[in-house]
């Protein structure tokens, strides 16, 4: 199977089964015999099609009077894959992309369909895509097309970041990110990790964080590109570092945990923030990592062992049932309760571009209701002099600052002690919002 055929299979699976692109792509590549070069091309095509789908569809529709909306799904995917190569990949010969799509089209609709696809794509290769909207006249319209951001998402981004930064933010959300490494200071230092990673992965490009000296993660994190598979590096397996976005790292700093405290990570997932908090207190605290998924907690426990974290206990908890938080640990409340709540994921579009086409305004509303219920539940578990930290990887105001403001209105005994927002164009981080609340 070719790289293009593998990419089409992954894209169809994501669209038809609501699968995650990362998991579907990994499964496809693991089962393939593709060369490293072809694996790279398949990956580039999969993420590129999801990042630029509006532009691809707009360009293809301009070449055929009936557009592409009513095409058979397999045919539409084949044309998108070809269009992405023609418009965005200079290193791919046009004839190779076109011939591959024509062959795929013939399998779907015979010789006649192959001829149709050939004509459309040759015209696209010759004429290029239609002119983009003028950003000086309508920034929102430009962003919707140029960065393939659905209108309702673009509007939410503008509402949070403002008109002046809208284009920069949207473009940053549409670029592939580097990999943020968090140094495990329980075992190593940033200089030692940089030296080890560079020796083990000579082709990697390692960047220290830009920005002002003294920012909390300055001595703990670097951005790496062309890293390869972390599991193949000895320094990773020795637990000297882990992978965690800079935005997520800053949430852990916002917790302001102290040695000896009791801490509840109420939606710990695979334990990224949990292990970071343990690291920040020198592995000297009592931390409960709670999550509804045992599978995620199993992965978290494996990560804790690799990193040498011993102060964490895991517990399966459904936060819609407050009684499940009862127990001997934390029975008198916690010094810190962290709620990294389920959300729309709009802040991680650069990592999961397919979410642009999976999310909806209704899904955001559903998340807001769930977040509200979870906040009310976990707030009851905070000691009188403790802190509640709420975070989401979303830039939607109703999931972030508006959610916190509404919580304070419902519970006037609480106040916002500190807030943070991170952005890819400003911080080289995903779009996080977090707040620390205290009574």
Q: Which CATH class is domain 3-127?
A: mainly alpha
Asked whether 94 and 86 are in contact (CB, 8 A), the reply is yes
CA-to-CA separations, 338 to 184, 222, 279, 403, in angstroms, rounded = 21, 25, 16, 15
Q: What pLDDT shows up at residue 326?
A: 74
DSSP, collapsed to helix, strand or coil, labels residue 250 as: helix
> Cβ atoms within 10 A of the Cβ of 419, count?
15
Q: What pLDDT shows up at residue 328?
A: 58
- Section 410-437 average pLDDT: 96
Q: What pLDDT shows up at residue 332?
A: 78
- Section 101-122 average pLDDT: 91
Asked whether 316 and 297 are in contact (CB, 8 A), the reply is yes
Higher pLDDT pick, 215 / 101: 101
* Residue 286, H or E segment: strand 286-291
* Residue 320, H or E segment: none
Position 329 confidence tier, pLDDT thresholds 50, 70, 90: low
Residues 6+ apart with CB under 8 A from 151: 140, 144
State how far the Cα of 33 lies from the Cα of 21, in Å rounded to an integer. 19
**CA-based nearest residue to 422, from 392, 399, 402:** 392
- Section 142-148 average pLDDT: 98
Asked whether 254 and 419 are in contact (CB, 8 A), the reply is no
Position 212 confidence tier, pLDDT thresholds 50, 70, 90: very low
User: What token pair was written down for 312?
Assistant: 């964490």
Q: Which of 145-159, 226-240, 397-411 has the lowest mean pLDDT?
A: 226-240
State how far the Cα of 383 lies from the Cα of 411, in Å rounded to an integer. 15
Q: What pLDDT shows up at residue 209?
A: 83
- The answer to whether residue 113 scores a pLDDT higher than 50 is yes
Asked whether 7 and 1 are in contact (CB, 8 A), the reply is no
- The answer to whether residue 359 scores a pLDDT higher than 70 is yes
pLDDT one-digit tens code per residue, 53-84: 999 999 999 998 787 888 889 999 999 999 99
State how far the Cα of 387 lies from the Cα of 402, in Å rounded to an integer. 19
pLDDT one-digit tens code per residue, 161-203: 999 999 999 999 999 998 999 999 999 999 999 999 999 999 9
**CA-based nearest residue to 125, from 168, 162, 96:** 96
Domain boundaries, the chain: 3-127, 139-173, 177-243, 246-438
User: What token pair was written down for 308?
Assistant: 């040498």
Please name every residue paired with 181 in a beta bridge, in sequence order, or none if there are none.
222, 243
DSSP, collapsed to helix, strand or coil, labels residue 242 as: strand
Query: Could you say which of 3.20.20.30, 3.40.190.150, 3.40.50.800, 3.40.50.150 is the CATH number of the domain covering 246-438?
Result: 3.40.50.150
Q: Kindly tell me the burial class for residue 214, based on how many C-beta atoms sit within 10 Å of its own C-beta (0-12, 13-18, 19 or more).
A: exposed
The single residue listed with the structure tokens 């023609």 is 86
Asked whether 188 and 240 are in contact (CB, 8 A), the reply is yes
Position 85 confidence tier, pLDDT thresholds 50, 70, 90: very high
pTM over 0.85: yes
Residues 6+ apart with CB under 8 A from 26: none
DSSP, collapsed to helix, strand or coil, labels residue 258 as: coil
In this structure, the dihedral spanned by the alpha carbons of residues 227, 232, 91 and 56, taken in order and rounded to 10 degrees, is: -80
Strand order in the sheet with 241-243: 205-208, 221-225, 179-183, 241-243
User: What string of H, E and C letters represents the secondary structure of 171-208?
Assistant: HHHCCCCCEEEEECCCCCCHHHHHHHHHHHCCCCEEEE
Query: Could you say which of 1.10.3720.10, 3.40.225.10, 3.30.70.1170, 3.40.50.620 is the CATH number of the domain covering 177-243?
Result: 3.30.70.1170
Q: What pLDDT shows up at residue 228?
A: 84
State how far the Cα of 366 lies from the Cα of 23, in Å rounded to an integer. 25
């Amino acid at each position: 199977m070719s790289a293009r055929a593998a990419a089409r299979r992954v894209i169809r699976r994501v669209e038809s089964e609501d699968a995650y692109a990362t998991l579907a792509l990994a499964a496809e590549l693991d089962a393939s015999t593709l060369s490293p070069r072809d694996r790279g091309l398949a990956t580039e095509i999969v993420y590129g099609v999801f990042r630029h789908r509006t532009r691809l569809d707009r360009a293809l529709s301009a070449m055929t009077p009936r557009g592409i909306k009513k095409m058979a799904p397999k045919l539409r995917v084949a044309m998108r894959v070809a269009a992405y190569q023609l418009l965005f990949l200079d290193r791919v010969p046009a004839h190779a992309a076109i011939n591959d799509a024509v062959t795929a089209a013939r399998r779907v609709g015979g010789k006649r369909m192959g001829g149709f696809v050939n004509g459309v794509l040759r015209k696209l290769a010759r004429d290029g895509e239609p002119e983009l909207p003028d950003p000086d006249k309508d920034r929102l319209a430009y962003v919707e097309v140029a960065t393939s951001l659905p209108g309702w998402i673009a509007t939410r981004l503008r509402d949070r970041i403002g008109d002046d930064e809208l284009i920069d933010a949207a473009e940053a959300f549409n670029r592939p990110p580097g990999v943020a490494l968090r140094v495990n200071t329980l075992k190593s230092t940033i200089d030692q990790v940089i030296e080890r990673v560079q020796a083990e992965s000579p082709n990697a490009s390692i960047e220290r964080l830009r920005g002002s000296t003294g920012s909390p993660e300055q001595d703990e994190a670097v951005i790496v590109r062309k890293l390869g598979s972390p599991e193949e590096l000895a320094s990773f397996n020795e637990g000297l570092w882990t992978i965690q976005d800079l935005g997520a790292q800053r949430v852990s700093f916002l917790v302001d945990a102290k040695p000896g405290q009791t801490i509840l990570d109420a939606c710990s997932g695979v334990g990224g923030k949990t292990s970071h908090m343990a690291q920040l207190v020198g592995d000297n605290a009592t931390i409960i990592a709670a999550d509804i998924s045992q599978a995620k907690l199993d992965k978290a426990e494996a990560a804790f062992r690799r990193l040498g974290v011993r102060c964490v206990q895991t517990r399966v908890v459904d936060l819609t049932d407050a009684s499940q938080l009862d127990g001997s640990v934390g029975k008198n409340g916690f010094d810190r309760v962290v709620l990294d709540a389920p959300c729309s994921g709009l802040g991680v579009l650069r990592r999961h571009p397919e979410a642009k086409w999976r999310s909806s305004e209704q899904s955001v509303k559903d998340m807001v209701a769930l977040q509200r219920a979870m906040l009310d539940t976990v707030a009851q578990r905070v000691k009188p002099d403790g802190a509640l930290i709420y975070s989401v990887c979303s830039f939607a105001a109703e999931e972030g600052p508006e959610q916190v403001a509404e919580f304070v209105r419902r519970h006037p005994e609480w106040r916002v002690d500190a807030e943070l927002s991170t952005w890819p164009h400003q911080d080289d981080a995903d779009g996080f919002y977090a707040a620390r609340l205290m009574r």
